[in-house]
Structure 1
Amino acid sequence: MLETARLVLRPLGTADIDAFVELHADERVNRFMEPFSRTEALARLAVVESQWAARGHGLLAVELKATGEFIGRAGPQYWERFGEIEIAWVLRADHWGRGYATEAARACVDWGFQNLEADYFTAMIRPANAPSRRVAERLGFAPRRADILFGHPVTVYGLDRPGRVS
């Protein structure tokens, strides 16, 4: 579990199914990602749990420290296809514009560099997703390459481990 000034981040799992489905049911959230049916969400959350069990890290539920309200998900997720760890973030639309995504992702980056042996982290962002690009840039990520994720073009941003020469 991670804590920031305003947030609590804890391992995301199948017990979060209702909040996860609600998060991904919002068309504003899904402008740059695919929605999940309940069955797909349960399968995705099972993968998250298995990543936690196998790798010791995975996506985290993002909750407001003051109320415990689930406002999204963030965290390090390993992409076997790329051999990379992405720092991901998705928040409920009614919590956009308050700095929560940057706060959660920064905590994940800091934790990741302290606890994982990765030389760098990525953030995979669809080109039109300006808000996520701004979060990535605030965190120090820079465009690294173009790729395809779930059939959509993405810009893969990278953030090197502090002190690493790339």
Structure 2
Amino acid sequence: MRTAAADPGPSAPPLPWPAVLTTERQILRPVERADVPAVTRLWTDPEVRRHLGGPVAASVVRIRQRRCVGARGVFVAARAEDGAVAGLVTIGWDAGRGEREVSYQFLPEHWGRGYAREAVTAAVDWALAASPTVIAVTQEANTRSRRLLEAVGLAHVESFVEWDAHQVLYRTPG
């Protein structure tokens, strides 16, 4: 997955913020200062960043650390049972396409347990309350992400090359 711009453009219908979304096992909420170490792991873990261009440079991480707390459309996916951060889900704005975009990253210890699917479904449903469609872009090679997007109801609509890698665009029906 690539990271959607968290700040929607002027033509984006407004979404209420801050927002808290709940699923069966998670709470999606704005990033808090205490979440920054876990979120930093998402940006620097080579396994998480495998299909995202690799770990983020330290200088960029420092900027992101200052800007992520409370950032519009950026949700921490925290396990309801213990508050542990499982991942990050962003609903942003793709200015080039003029559509809302979902992006997500989850820590490897939470992979394969359905947390990403639950969280992405909740975030997409939230975004669809104000937008006719939601898109997502992932690398063609990222088969796990592609399966997740299809499982939450997005359909493959386009393939292209960007950042020297084959990408696929998914969109909700609408």
TM range (shorter): 0.7 to 0.9
Which of the residues 111, 115, 131 maps onto 1:100?
Answer: 115
Please identify which structure carries the higher helix content. 1
Q: Which amino acid aligns with 1:94?
A: E
Match of 2:6 in 1: none
The answer on whether the counterparts of 1:12 and 1:45 sit within 8 Å (CA) in structure 2 is no
Task: Decide which moves more: 83-92 or 124-133.
Answer: 83-92
Inter-CA distance 149–49: structure 2 relative to 1 (3 Å threshold): farther
Cα distance, 1:151 vs structure 2: 4.7
Partner of 1:6: 25
Contact kept? 1:2, 1:8, Cα under 8 Å: yes
Change (3 A) 1:147 1:94: same
Q: Map of 1:114-153 to 2, 5 A cutoff?
A: 114=129, 116=130, 118-153=131-166
Q: Moved runs in structure 1, 4+ residues, more than 4 A?
A: 45-51, 148-151
Instruction: Output the CA distance in 2 between the equivalents of 1:159 and 1:74.
Output: 17
Q: Judging changes above 3 Å, is the alpha-carbon distance between structure 1 residues 62 and 26 closer, same or farther for their aligned structure 2 residues?
A: same
Are residues 120 and 102 of structure 1, via their aligned partners in 2, closer, same or farther at CA, if it must alter by over 3 Å?
Answer: same
Matches within 5 A, 1:15-26: 16-26=35-45
Select the structure with the greater relative contact order (CA < 8 A; seq sep ≥ 6).
Answer: 2
TM-score by length of 2: 0.77
SS at match of 2:172: strand
Q: Give the SS at the match of 2:50.
A: helix
SS in 2 for 1:90: strand
CA separation in 2, counterparts of 1:150 and 1:81? 16
Q: Which amino acid aligns with 1:136?
A: L
Deviation at 1:156, TM superposition (A): 0.6
**Does the 8 Å contact 1:62/1:74 carry over to 2?**
yes
Gaps of 5+ in 2: 1-19
Aligned residue identity for 2:77: V
TM-score, reference length from structure 1: 0.81
Give deviations 1:111-151, integer Å, cap 9, x for gaps: 1112x2x2211110100101001100111111111245545
The runs of 5 or more residues in structure 1 that have no matched partner are: 53-57
Task: Note closer, same or farther for the CA distance 1:42–1:148 as it changes in structure 2 (3 Å cut).
Answer: farther
CA contact (8 A) 1:20 1:41 kept: no
| Structure 1: distance between partners of 2:71 and 2:94 | 10
| 1:13–1:46 contact (8 Å) kept in structure 2 | no
Q: 1:42/1:13 Cα in 2 relative to 1: closer, same or farther (>3 Å)?
A: farther
1:75 aligns with 2:63: no
Q: Distance in 1 between matches of 2:29 and 2:57?
A: 23
2:169 paired with 1:156: yes
2:30–2:70 Cα contact (<8 Å) kept:
no
Identity %: 29
Task: Give the length in aligned residue pairs.
Answer: 154
